A and B are shown apart, each in its own frame.
Chain A
Amino acid sequence: MASGTSLPLEYSTKQNEMNILGFWIFLGAEIVLFSTLFAGYAVLEHNTAGGPAGSDIFIMKDVMIQTFLLLTSSFTCSLAIHQMRNNNLKGLITWLLITMALGLGFLYMEINEFIHYVHEGATMQTSAFLSAFFTLLGTHGAHVTLGIGWLTLLIIQLVKRGITPVTARKTFIISLYWHFLDVVWIFIFTFVYLKGLM
């Protein structure tokens, strides 16, 4: 079943290769999903119905911190894969834990941000703009949360089984997912926050 000698372990079986391809296609669907959320946001962005606009509530400093947390976690996640490809289990798990910690930090910031908005009277029910804003950001945040849960399960399996073709594949797939969330964030950072603050 081996399908090539020069490729890393996660591609070593036909089933692995198919899982990875399947996940890429799933990411294609995710691109469409998020772009639809962005489209909804872009259409409704100015409809504040007397409620606060983006420039009234967004805080540049917090957004920058969130961005750097997520960017860095994407980097540490790629280091984890690098360790995996060097067959270094300890390095792999360490970097995954760091990635997870950064993800948690991001989530902490985001939840605080939402609480803050709600206290300022900016809820999902206030206006179409805020409905779209919270839905877009919430979907991204829910993805990050899911990613953290998934990472936890994966780390347990890595500790139990070490780096095998199956765990390597799972780790690689989760890394794709994690980087993808960073990509989505870049667009949120640009087209929601920076644009909203302009």
Chain B
Amino acid sequence: MEKTNKIFPGKMVFGFFLSIVMTVLAAIVFYTDFTSSVKLWIIGALAIFQAGVQLIMFMHMNEGKSGMINTINIVYSVFIAAVIVAGSIWILSTGHAAHY
């Protein structure tokens, strides 16, 4: 898994390239004429993808003896994050709570 003696940091440059591309793409999508919700889905997906790039290419998430634990930990945290965000929005924007 290691390439300790490699001089050219190819993986990092590629990761950087990907994140720039995705940021620019997000900006471009922003200026298109899709409806807001379509745009949101696209840029949301780009954000998630870019986070994955950072985690794997820059943060070496699955490296070392605890790589598996790290991965489970992050996946679980992301699941909790989704529950918190989606749950809160759902609960607080439907029902009477929305029309206080």
Verify whether A and B have any Cβ pair under 8 Å.
yes
> Which A residues form the contact surface with B (CB < 8 A)?
3-4, 6-8, 11, 17, 20-21, 24-25, 27-29, 31-32, 34-36, 38-40, 42-43, 64, 67-68, 71-72, 74-75, 77-79, 82, 85-86, 175-176, 179-180, 182-183, 186-187, 189-191, 194-195, 197-198
Are B27 and A20 in contact, with the CB atoms below 8 A? no
**B89 near A194: Cβ-Cβ < 8 Å:** no
Show 28 residue pairs from A and B whose CB-CB distance is below 8 angstroms, ordered by the A residue.
Answer: A7-B63, A11-B65, A24-B74, A25-B73, A29-B77, A32-B77, A36-B84, A39-B85, A40-B88, A43-B88, A68-B20, A68-B23, A75-B19, A77-B58, A78-B15, A82-B9, A82-B12, A179-B54, A179-B59, A186-B50, A187-B47, A187-B51, A191-B44, A194-B26, A194-B30, A194-B43, A195-B43, A198-B39
* CA of A176 to CA of B73, assembled, Å: 15
Residue in A8, A36, A190 with the greatest tally of chain B CB atoms within 10 Å: A190
Residue contact B65 to A24, C-beta cutoff 8 Å: no
Residue from A8, A17, A186 within 8 A of B65 (CB atoms): A17
What secondary structure prevails in chain B residues at the interface with A?
helix
Q: Given known contacts A78-B9, A194-B43, A197-B30, is B19 in contact with A71 (CB within 8 Å)?
A: yes
Q: How many A-B residue pairs have CB under 8 A?
A: 140
Whether A182 touches B77, Cβ cut-off 8 Å, given contacts A21-B70, A43-B92, is: no
Interfacial chain A residues near B7, Cβ < 8 Å: 86
By the criterion CB–CB under 8 Å, are B58 and A39 in contact?
A: no
Q: How far is the CA of A149 from the CA of B28 in the complex (A)?
A: 35
Are the C-beta atoms of A79 and B23 separated by less than 8 Å?
no
Query: Could you list which residues of chain B lie within 8 angstroms of chain A, going by C-beta atoms?
Result: 1-2, 4-7, 9, 12, 15-16, 19-20, 23, 26-27, 30, 36, 39-40, 43-44, 46-47, 50-51, 54-55, 57-59, 61, 63-66, 69-70, 73-74, 76-78, 80-82, 84-85, 87-89, 92-93
